[in-house]
Amino acid sequence: MAAIRHTLQRDVFKGNDERLVFVIHVTKASKKKKSCFLCIASSIEQPINVAIYQVKKSEKDNRFKKRGNWRLRELKTVDGKDAIKDTAEFDLHFDRVYKWVASSVRDKNAFVSCLWKLSLRHLRQARPNFRNVCNDILEESILDGEVDPIIKTIDEEATLDAEENYQALTEREETDLGRLLSQCEFAIGNAEAFTDRLSKDLSILDGANIHTIMASEDQVQQLMDMIQVAIDEVTKIQTRLDGYDSKLKNVRETVEKIEEKNILIQVQNSNSMKLYEELETLVVHLDFRHEFQVMLLDGDLTNPEKVIECGEAAQALHDAINAKCNPCNLGTLSTF
């Protein structure tokens, strides 16, 4: 477990400025029995934030990765399932209930004890409810004078980090400090004189800084002038773009009008073609041959053959008189 703890700290938590406090191997209390690690980690910097992570090993690159995380303050209930009988099962109640089975009863009790101690130390209000947990596990954390090694490690390592962040003086800094102290040997016996000397040196430095700032005013003014020129150029470009946009708007409106006219012309041509076809059909139906006219006017009704021809002429005249326009064809005309 020490090797796994070291690997998790290096690969998972170190990059996020977190410190692994406790790790336990668990499986989900379901038929699939998927295994993972539940890790309790704390932030390195103050204020310390404690979180619980679900960590799994990726099948692709064989590296540990976080799959779920919950803040300690989000933990509502820790259910040990049975306060009398030894069981490796336990539930964590967050926004939903997560059921786990530890690799051993001992690991489960240590994990629950760690959560109890961390909640006492870092949660002043809204601490989680511990139920179905043996009182011996909880009482171990509140004995007088007892400090848990795991919790103590957080503060000790935070102190070590502060000591590691300490940077020693460089050789140049040591030389400058030694020269300053050699010029003020009286400082040990006369702190007021030493303070006056430091104030004078500080005044000299402030004066030098003022001269440097004044000397750079010309450069600052040049920079401001260049910025103003750039702003003017941008304004010109914006004005030109606005003009282009206005022209494009007029072109767009003209194109839309042309498209509308084209549509009207197409509709007009289509209607004209349909009317022409209907008119042509009507003319064909109204066409009455000249011989039929002669036959009806001067036909010999005493001759049987002439009577038949007169009947054909009369039928043709009847068809021509009763010829009508097809309303279906007229109904297909388009409107504007």
Q: Pick the closest to residue 138 from 218, 211, 83, 213 (CA basis).
A: 83
**CA distance from start to end of the chain:** 84
pLDDT tens column, 160-211: 454 445 556 677 777 776 776 666 655 555 666 767 777 787 788 877 777 7
State the chain's mean pLDDT as an integer: 80
User: Quick check: pTM over 0.85?
Assistant: no
Packed helices 105-122 and 149-164: angle between N→C axes, nearest 10 degrees: 60
Q: Which band of pLDDT confidence, cut at 50, 70 and 90, is reported for residue 331?
A: low
Tell me how far apart the alpha carbons of residues 99 and 81 are, in angstroms, rounded to a whole number.
10
Tell me how far apart the alpha carbons of residues 120 and 142 are, in angstroms, rounded to a whole number.
9
Phi and psi (nearest 5°) for 322?
-90, 10
For the cut 50, the answer to whether the pLDDT of residue 316 exceeds it is yes
Instruction: Give the helix/strand (H/E) hosting 7.
Output: helix 2-8
**How many CA atoms are closer than 13 Å to the CA of 109, on its beta-carbon side?**
17
Answer for the pair 37, 23: CB distance below 8 angstroms, yes or no.
yes
Q: Which amino acid, 115?
A: L
DSSP 62: -
**Runs of H (alpha helix) within the chain:** 2-8, 105-122, 135-139, 149-164, 171-183, 191-215, 217-286, 290-298, 304-321, 327-331
The owner of tokens 């001759």 is 303
Beta bridge pairs of residue 55: 37, 66
pLDDT tens column, 15-74: 888 999 999 999 988 777 788 999 999 998 888 889 999 999 888 888 899 988 999 999
pLDDT tens column, 250-303: 999 999 999 989 999 988 888 888 888 888 877 777 776 777 777 777 777 777
Cα angle 106, 109, 115 (rounded to 5 degrees) comes to 140
Tell me how far apart the alpha carbons of residues 92 and 80 are, in angstroms, rounded to a whole number.
9
